[in-house]
Amino acid sequence: MQYQNREVFQKTVQAVVATYCQDGVLNHIDGKSLPSRDRIVRIFDALRQLLFPGFVGTQGVTRQNENFHVGGLLDAIEGMLSDEVFKALCCTCERQTGECSEATCREKAVEITAILLGKLPELRVFLAEDVRAAFEGDPAAASTEEVVMSYPFVLAITAHRIAHILYELKVPMIPRIINEHAHCLTGIDIHPGASIGRAFFIDHGTGVVIGETTTIGDNAKIYQGVTLGALSIRKDPTGRAIRGEKRHPTIGNNVTIYAGATILGGNTVIGEGAVIGGNVWLTTSVEPEMSVTLGTMDLTVRPRRSGPRSTEPKSGAAEGLR
């Protein structure tokens, strides 16, 4: 479709361009190239093929071609990832200092990429423990294959474990892009800064939020709708949020947190072996091996329409609620 009125068209162009000078938040003009979100997603998918051979991507992986399969993927990932890390580092240098040593950023990007790829064997060990925890913790799971192929948690924890390595290596933007990609697909929101132990399992998963400074121990299990969040955000004298502080809770080993529970605050510690019931709201610590539940709520059962009420006892489901 073309503008019928060229004068109106030119005025629209000028009006849009004028906003570029007014607000720098939405602009990235004449700056270093930003990382490509689409390319990062492709890198993540390629990493999943390495981590879950035969499950993700090429289905015909055999003992005869596995070296060829792994070598080809590693070569492609190394080139793409080092390029995207390089761009992320350069953008950050430019924003923070106004200049960038491209040679230094390139060298650092290659080093970071090598570190991540070198951790793939360890990542597979961790992910295998996560999958087994899901299978053993969910009676509805028919097999570990079913868990890998269908459970949204597996995608979310894979994204997180990759992104967390990059986060710890101080790579800008890319860890968050990876985790938010998984968030969009699964409804599970894990910040790449969160530290999560071994044999972790999120059952169902939708609506789970795990904040940046959360620490979770080994063999923890949480259900849908759980929030591990910040109680409040401290601000400096200029009104800006103070970054880098511990704002989110610490969850010990062997803790179970049921659906809808909310646990807030950097000083909140849930002790080892504790069980947090559904819909509990916590801002204080819980001792090890304790169980925290809500009291029984009173339910009211009444006719839907106005009219004389029956004095006869309720039967069926309604009677069970009295």
Q: What element of type H or E holds 282?
A: strand 281-282
**Proportion of the chain in helix, strand, coil states, percent, rounded to 5:** 45, 10, 45
pLDDT computed for residue 318 by the predictor: 41
Amino acid at 212: E
Which 3 state secondary structure label does DSSP give 241? strand
Query: Do 102 and 214 fall within a single domain?
Result: no
Q: Sign of the C-alpha dihedral, residues 105, 85, 37, 195? A: negative
**Domains: count for the chain:** 2
Asked if residue 306 belongs to a domain, the reply is no
Query: Do 182 and 253 fall within a single domain?
Result: no
Question: Could you tell me how far CA 6 lies from the centroid of its own chain?
Answer: 47
Note if the pTM is more than 0.85. Answer: yes
- Give the domain CATH number at 262: 2.160.10.10
What are the b/e assignments for 176-195, b being 16+ CB within 10 Å?
Answer: bbbbbbbbeebbbbbbbbbe
Give the separation between CA 296 and CA 321, rounded to whole angstroms.
12
Give the separation between CA 167 and CA 163, rounded to whole angstroms.
6
pLDDT computed for residue 2 by the predictor: 63
Phi and psi angles of residue 207, each rounded to the nearest 5 degrees, phi first: 85, 5
Asked if residue 3 belongs to a domain, the reply is no
Query: Do 50 and 156 fall within a single domain?
Result: yes
Asked if residue 317 belongs to a domain, the reply is no
Amino acid at 138: D
Query: Do 97 and 40 fall within a single domain?
Result: yes
Q: Where are the beta strands (DSSP E) in the chain?
A: 189-190, 195-196, 201-203, 209-210, 215-216, 221-223, 227-229, 250-251, 256-257, 262-264, 269-270, 275-276, 281-282, 291-292
Low-confidence residues of the chain: pLDDT under 50: 315-322
Which of 186, 203, 229 finishes a domain?
186
Amino acid at 226: V
Query: Do 38 and 179 fall within a single domain?
Result: yes
Q: Which of 195, 197, 204, 114 is nearest to 154 (CA)?
A: 204
Give the separation between CA 186 and CA 51, rounded to whole angstroms.
19
Query: Do 114 and 36 fall within a single domain?
Result: yes
152-168 and 174-186 helices, crossing angle to 10°: 170
Asked if residue 243 belongs to a domain, the reply is yes
Q: Kindly calculate the radius of gyration of the chain based on its CA atoms and give it in whole angstroms.
A: 25
Non-local (6+) Cβ contacts of 176 within 8 A are 163, 191, 192
- Give the domain CATH number at 158: 1.10.3130.10
pLDDT computed for residue 310 by the predictor: 52
pLDDT computed for residue 192 by the predictor: 98
Query: Do 51 and 161 fall within a single domain?
Result: yes
Which of 133, 166, 186 finishes a domain?
186
Query: Do 271 and 180 fall within a single domain?
Result: no
> 208: domain range?
194-295
Query: Do 232 and 90 fall within a single domain?
Result: no
Query: Do 80 and 135 fall within a single domain?
Result: yes
HSE, side-chain direction, 13 A CA sphere, residue 300: 3
Residues facing 241 on adjacent strands: 235
Question: Could you tell me how far CA 72 lies from the centroid of its own chain?
Answer: 28
Query: Do 50 and 167 fall within a single domain?
Result: yes
pLDDT computed for residue 322 by the predictor: 37
DSSP 242-271: PPSS--S-EE-TT-EE-TT-EEE-TT-EE-
Non-local (6+) Cβ contacts of 103 within 8 A are none
Give the separation between CA 172 and CA 159, rounded to whole angstroms.
16
Asked if residue 305 belongs to a domain, the reply is no
* CA end-to-end distance (rounded Å), the chain: 65
**Sheet of strand 195-196, all strands in order from the earlier edge strand to the far edge:** 195-196, 215-216, 250-251, 269-270
Asked if residue 316 belongs to a domain, the reply is no
Q: What element of type H or E holds 47?
A: helix 37-51
pLDDT computed for residue 23 by the predictor: 67
Asked if residue 314 belongs to a domain, the reply is no
Query: Do 216 and 92 fall within a single domain?
Result: no
Which of 140, 169, 186 finishes a domain?
186
How many CB atoms lie under 10 A from the CB of residue 126? 19
Residues 227 and 206 sit within 8 Å (Cβ to Cβ): no
Asked if residue 178 belongs to a domain, the reply is yes
